[in-house]
């Protein structure tokens, strides 16, 4: 389970991160990242829709993604907001595949992210 300080709870936070954030995609998931100048801890939200599968499958994917992201919290810069959105292919993916895809997508999104409010020329 993610520590309470690292959980994204508000719908507005999810929307802002998905709409304004940098994106990194893989076949099993998409990662959206925004960075702020806020010195607070990184915050993570998960989106696992019905397109992924039945409730049992969605819950398994959610648990796996939660554990993958929890292990990477220390590597995220302070003030970072991350939304991990599972794709239907995540239902058949192994834990190792999810780890590799989160790493690759997160790396790509973090490289592209600019702080919210900062204008990119």
pLDDT of residue 40: 87
Q: Across the 121 residues of the chain, what is the mean pLDDT of every consecutive 10-residue run? A: 89 92 94 88 95 97 96 91 96 97 94 65 44
pLDDT of residue 115: 67
How many domains is the chain built from? 1
Residue 74 lies in a domain: yes
What element of type H or E holds 107?
A: helix 95-112
**Which CATH number fits the domain that encloses residue 26?**
3.30.230.10
Residue 29 lies in a domain: yes
Residue 121 lies in a domain: no
Residue 117 lies in a domain: no
pLDDT of residue 120: 45
Enter the tokens of residue 25: 């995609």
Residue 47 lies in a domain: yes
- CA 40-41-46 angle, 5° bins: 125
Residue 80 lies in a domain: yes
93 lies in which domain range?
4-112
DSSP 29-61: EEEEEEE-S--SPPEEEEE--GGG-SHHHHHHH
pLDDT of residue 113: 80
């Amino acid at each position: 389970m993610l520590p309470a300080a690292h959980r994204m709870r508000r719908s507005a936070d999810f929307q802002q991160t998905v709409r304004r954030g940098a994106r990194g995609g893989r076949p099993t998931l998409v990662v959206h990242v925004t960075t702020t100048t806020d010195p607070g801890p990184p915050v993570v939200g998960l989106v696992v829709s019905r397109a992924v599968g039945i409730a049992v499958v969605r819950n398994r994917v959610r648990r796996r993604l939660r554990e993958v992201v929890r292990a990477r919290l220390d590597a995220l810069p302070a003030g970072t907001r991350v939304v991990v959105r599972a794709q239907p292919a995540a239902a058949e993916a192994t834990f190792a595949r999810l780890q590799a895809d989160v790493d690759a997508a997160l790396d790509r999104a973090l490289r592209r992210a600019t702080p919210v409010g900062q204008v990119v020329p």
